[in-house]
Amino acid sequence: MRMPTAGTTPPAPQLPESARELTETEGRGPAPERAARRKVGLAVTGFTLALLLLVALSLSVGAGEVGPGGVLDYLLNRRGARGDSRLALVVGDLRVPRTLTALLVGGALGVAGCLLQAVTRNPLAETGLLGVNAGASLGVVAGIALLGFDSGYAYLGCAFVGAVVASGLVLLIAGRKGGGSPMRLVLAGSALGATFGGLTSVIVVNSAETYDRFRFWVLGSLAGVEGYGELGRLAPVLAAGFLVALLVARPLSALALGDDLARSLGHRPPVIRTVVAVGVTLLTAAAVALAGPISFLGLLAGFLARAVAGTRLPARLLLAGLVGACVLTVSDVAARVVARPYEAPVSVIVALIGAPVLILIVRSKSLATMGMTDPATDESAPSKRSRSKRAPAKSTPAKPAPADTYVLRPGPFSFLLARRATLASLLLAALLVVAVVLSAYAGQSDMGVSRTFRAVFGYGDHFDVLLVQKFRLGRIVAGLTAGAALGLAGCLTQTLARNRLATPELLGVNDGATAAVLVSVTFSASGSFGAWWAGPIGALVAVVVVTVVSGGLGQRGYRVLVVGLAMSALASAVTQVVLSRRSLNSASSLYVWTSGSLNGRGYSVAVPVLVGLAVLVPLALAVARHLGVLRFDDDTAASLGSHAGRTRLICLLLAVALAGLAVGVCGPVGFVALASPVIASRLAGPLRVPLVGSMLTGAVLVVAADTLGRIVFDGSELPVGVVTTVLGGPFLLWVLLGRSAATRV
């Protein structure tokens, strides 16, 4: 699989995908143009009629046993219906404000998602990209835990302030160098969003009361809308966001032609991106404050609008607003009726409705006309040609080893080792030994480092040996195995995708494994931990579903990624439902595990993972030579004797198995899979695929983070996933946005 790119670029002139689509549209003549406009017009009319029907349904469904007749009487004030206190409460104070809020929030998220996808030139961008959702969540949690807020109005204010602060920091960091390019905006938003999410978890895991309130707010709901107070306070913010979207449509269309052409037309790309980010912030912050974080809706609405309207940005914005309003309204209606007399979380309903729709869109033929598919090339032909070219290679003399390598010949075997990579691996191994000793020593005030070091290897006082080896090393070994599996899985995924931000999460692996482990809690005797083996099974099921639905791994480009995102949304919805239906004590312990934790883990789960590593690591090392060749295109790989399709499939299966094993041990610690290959590549050099270095780096990160989480607070423990996320966000910014990366980002 390959990560999505901005599109295919023609030989000359060098224009972006959006500009090429625009010129092709203009060159097709008046008849196709009229047909396209007719298609957009029919779509707008259809969604408008659907929205009107959904509004009528929303006003007619709900508590209070007031049917369509009573609603119509109240709206038309027939027979003095507005004087009826019961009708005034049910219709005037509950249903009308709630329906209006659903329309505005859905429209705001749809327009915001469309704007983000346009400004980043990425059809998979969503409204959480600027850190808005993470900032809003942190604001609400801080308000509950630190300020003692417990009302909807207070949550609204905290969410809005947190969202604005988060997006402001993203804009500030992304604009420091490079003029706020789309890639820098994505990186800054992802890194700061991860940091804010980690800080939120720090507060939540140390306060059961805060988590009890937060776990329902984070699901998203319109159940608390009563009257027009909250909506009235944020209506000016929403109006300002919609106005910015209207005014920026023309300049943003010019920006799709490329920065140089946009400047020649009199526009300033950095200013345009900043204004768009401000508009997205206003729309998303107000929406999150009113209904909670519903991020998947922006992705769905923007993607569907692009599938219908193509590159016509004004039409896309209008369609995205209509789609967002329709989806959120129907989800809100469904949330009222599927679990009566209770209400289901609206974000879960959005995922259950939106994920199949997204899959149907990406499977449609119209996607190919959008330049969003990259069909697999015929690899057999290049292979045949390459064999004929390689035939005379037998007579060519052997070339000497590169200067950075040396040959190791133990007996009849010989190995080619890279000096820098070998030294980096030795350094990481030494750091791992230090991390293990410090982890075994942490928390033991009556044992020195020397006594701890001796106890690790079974020497010294019997009590010291029992304490360290029985109660400490089991957890450490579990961390070592999970970290090594995550590091190797991340390295395989990033090499396959040719992208430093790729992780197994792109295929729904982490969410699928997490959901499977949480479902297995039902059959667990303790009720606190699921079966470790459910992680690999859930990961495998997720990838199989993604592969089958997307039409096979040969369908590179956006199809596999979109289906993976849909799978992640569905699995995440299952996870949220499981957590919301558990008791507070059980849900709190499970939430800690879903943040990534080694608490309670030992040899019982470490040994099976070690067995898995003993099988999977040699396989990964065996395909390492072919993996390095995959950095080139498939034709080049075939000419060098590598079957790209087979190698890609083997490596992907290895990554899935490794990530599933790791999730079964310590939960979804996604940052380790992201950061380990980046660090190992910096140490080993950019021309190497650092499989061994990524494993060692992942093990060091998990063990060190677990140690830090155990000692940073007295009487409480921070999960390893929270520690890696809080510290990893700034590190990711430093690595990807530093001076050395300025020319690459």
C-beta of residue 141 within 8 angstroms of C-beta of residue 147: no
pLDDT tens-digit series, residues 502-521: 777 777 787 888 888 777 77
In a domain, 325, yes or no: yes
Looking at the structure, tell me whether residues 331 and 228 fall in a common domain: yes
pLDDT band at 610 (very low <50, low <70, confident <90, very high): confident
Q: What is the rounded distance in angstroms from the CA atom of residue 526 to the CA atom of residue 382?
A: 56
Contact 669, 596 (CB under 8 A): yes
Residue 495 has pLDDT above 70, yes or no: yes
Q: What is the DSSP letter of 687?
A: T
For residue 471 the two structure tokens come to: 């109660």
Report the interhelical angle of 313-337 vs 30-60 (nearest 10°).
20
Same domain, 353 and 479: no
CA dist 437 to 154, 449, 453, 560, 719, Å? Answer: 47, 8, 6, 43, 20
Residue keyed to tokens 């609206």? 346
Range with lowest mean pLDDT among 157-166, 223-232, 690-699: 223-232
Whether residue 18 is predicted with pLDDT greater than 70 in this model: the reply is: no
Is there a single domain that holds both residue 449 and residue 330? no
The whole-angstrom separation of Cα 698 and Cα 217 is 33
- Tell whether 5 is covered by a domain: no
Ramachandran region, residue 719 (left: φ > 0; alpha: ψ -120 to 50; beta: rest): beta
| 460, 368: one domain | no
Question: Residue 616, SS3?
Answer: helix
Q: Which helix (H) or strand (E) holds 556?
A: strand 556-557
Q: State phi, psi for 417 to the nearest 5 degrees.
A: -115, 140
Please report whether residue 416 resides in a domain: no
Residue pair 15/23 in contact (Cβ under 8 Å)? The answer is yes
pLDDT at 368: 46
pLDDT-derived band of residue 175, with 50, 70 and 90 as boundaries?
Answer: low
Residue 304 is part of which domain span?
17-374
Percentage of the residues of the chain whose pLDDT score is greater than 90 = 9
In a domain, 358, yes or no: yes
Longest dimension (CA), the chain: 101
pLDDT tops 50 at residue 399 = no
Place of tokens 């990961």: 539
Tell me the pLDDT of the chain averaged across its residues: 76
Higher pLDDT, 432 or 498: 432
The answer to whether the CB of 717 falls within 8 A of the CB of 589 is no
- Residue 444 structure tokens: 């033991």
Residues 352 and 441 in one domain: no
Provide mean pLDDT across the span 653-666: 84
The answer as to whether 412 is a domain residue is: no
CATH number at residue 616: 1.10.3470.10
Query: Both 529 and 639 in a single domain?
Result: yes
Same domain, 471 and 536: yes
**pLDDT score of 631:** 62
If one compares 85 and 140, the residue with the highest pLDDT of the two is 140
Between 237 and 220, the higher pLDDT residue = 237
Residue 287: beta bridge partners? none
How far is 580 from 562, CA to CA, in rounded Å? 27
Tell me if 118 sits within 8 A of 252, measured CB to CB. Answer: yes
Q: Specify if 370 maps to a domain.
A: yes
Tokens standing for residue 428: 């990481």
Are residues 333 and 460 both part of a single domain? no
pLDDT of residue 324: 93
Phi, psi of 443 (to 5 degrees): 90, -5
Structural element, H or E, at residue 373: strand 373-374
User: Over 80: is that where the pLDDT of 617 sits?
Assistant: yes
Q: Give 582's DSSP letter.
A: S
pLDDT of residue 105 exceeding 70, the answer is yes
User: Rounded distance, CA 361 to CA 302, Å?
Assistant: 12
CA–CA gap between residue 111 and residue 248 (Å, rounded): 12
What is the predicted pLDDT for the residue at 22? 44
Q: Which residues partner with 556 through β-bridges?
A: 374
Write the pLDDT tens digit of every residue in 291-305.
Answer: 888 878 888 898 888
Cα gap 243→115, rounded to integer Å: 13
**Which residues are bridge partners to 373 per DSSP?**
557
Residue partners of 139: CB distance under 8 A and separation at least 6: 158, 159, 160, 161, 162, 163, 165
pTM of the model: 0.75
Residue 689 neighbours by CB under 8 Å, 6+ apart: 491, 495, 624, 627, 628
Is residue 724 within 8 Å of 503, Cβ to Cβ? no
CB within 8 Å of 22: residues ≥ 6 apart: 256, 257, 311
- Per 3-state DSSP, the chain is made up of helix, strand and coil in percentages (nearest 5) of 75, 0, 25
**Position 414 confidence tier, pLDDT thresholds 50, 70, 90:** low
325 against 562, higher pLDDT: 325
Give me the phi and psi of 27, to 5 degrees please: -90, 0
Say what angle helices 584-594 and 208-217 make with each other, to 10 degrees. Answer: 80
Amino acid 48: pLDDT: 93
Q: Is residue 394 part of a domain?
A: no
Number of domains into which the chain is organized: 2
The reported pLDDT for the residue numbered 151 is 66
Three-class SS state of 27 = coil
Q: Please report which confidence band the pLDDT of residue 330 belongs to, taking 50, 70 and 90 as the band edges.
A: very high
Half-sphere exposure of 63 (CA within 13 A, CB side): 12
pLDDT at 129: 72
Query: What is the percent of the chain where pLDDT is above 70?
Result: 78
Residues 353 and 498 in one domain: no
- Give 401-441 as a DSSP string: PPTTEEEE--TT--EEEEHHHHHHHHHHHHHHHHHHHHHHH
- Angle between the 720-737 and 182-205 helix axes, to the nearest 10 degrees? 160
CA distance 736 to 169: 16
Q: How many C-beta atoms surround the C-beta of residue 442 within 10 A?
A: 15
- Among 407-421, 651-665, 674-688, the range scoring the smallest mean pLDDT is 407-421
- Summarize the confidence of residues 316-327 as an average pLDDT: 93
Q: What is the dihedral of CA 132, 138, 142, 148, to 10 degrees?
A: 70
Question: What's the pLDDT tens digit per position in 425-479?
Answer: 889 999 998 888 888 777 655 666 677 777 777 777 777 777 777 777 888 888 8
Give yes or no: residues 337 and 476 share one domain: no
Res 705 pLDDT > 70: yes
> For strand 556-557 and strand 373-374, is the pairing parallel, antiparallel, or unpaired?
antiparallel
What lies within 8 Å, CB to CB, of 149 at 6+ separation is 143, 155, 158
What pLDDT is stored for residue 556 in this prediction? 46
> pLDDT digit string (tens) for 530-587?
566 777 788 888 888 887 777 665 444 456 767 777 888 788 877 877 777 777 777 7
- For 500, 620, 628, 672, the CA distances from 686, given in Å and listed in that order, are 12, 19, 11, 19
Report yes or no: 87 and 63 within 8 Å, Cβ to Cβ: no
DSSP state of 448: -
How much is the average pLDDT of 75-87? 77
Which residues lie across from 337 on neighbouring strands? Answer: none
**Predicted local distance difference test score (pLDDT) of residue 101:** 92
Report which of residues 375 and 57 the model is more confident about: 57
pLDDT of 329 reads: 94
Q: Indicate the SS3 state at residue 596.
A: coil
Residue 245, domain member (yes or no): yes
**What's the confidence (pLDDT) of residue 102?**
92
pLDDT digits (tens, 9 = 90+) for 182-217: 667 777 777 788 888 888 888 888 777 787 777 777
The C-alpha atoms of residue 492 and residue 662 are separated, in whole angstroms, by: 15
Tell me: pLDDT of 147 over 50: yes
